[in-house]
Amino acid sequence: MGNIQISDDFFAKKLEEAKVHFERALDCKHTEFDDLYPYMIEHPQFFWYKRYVAWSELLTTVKLSEELGIDWTSSFTERQAEYVRKRVMSSTVLDFWYETNDTREHVG
């Protein structure tokens, strides 16, 4: 392999994709994960696992951004960035990712 140049735009796109994937999982909307494990949809724990996978993807993308010196925080609210920094997907993250119920901006 040679020297590969990774642009900030490339990582910004990957970060946005990971954020949307997590938010779709959070909202129990269809993601690529549903296509991989269609038989799991019947199981109650499926949505927890789906959220965990999406959260892990988001944290991995953020970690790579940090290692490359690329700012990732501008894609998140202050509170969301703090959740990501703590790295733990707690009930607080699940309940308050969108700040409040009055200002929820769910993904389409």
Return the closest-CA partner of residue 27 out of 94, 100, 103. 94
The C-alpha atoms of residue 103 and residue 77 are separated, in whole angstroms, by 12
- pTM comes to 0.82
Domains of the chain: total: 1
Structural domain contains residue 108:
no
Structural domain contains residue 63:
yes
- Under 8 Å between Cβ of 11 and 64: yes
Beta-carbon contacts of residue 65 (< 8 Å; ≥ 6 apart): 11, 15, 71, 72
Structural domain contains residue 6:
no
Structural domain contains residue 3:
no
Structural domain contains residue 41:
yes
Structural domain contains residue 45:
yes
Residue 5: pLDDT over 80? no
Domain residue limits at 89: 16-103
pLDDT in tens, 53-106: 999 999 999 999 999 899 999 999 999 999 999 999 999 999 999 986 554 455
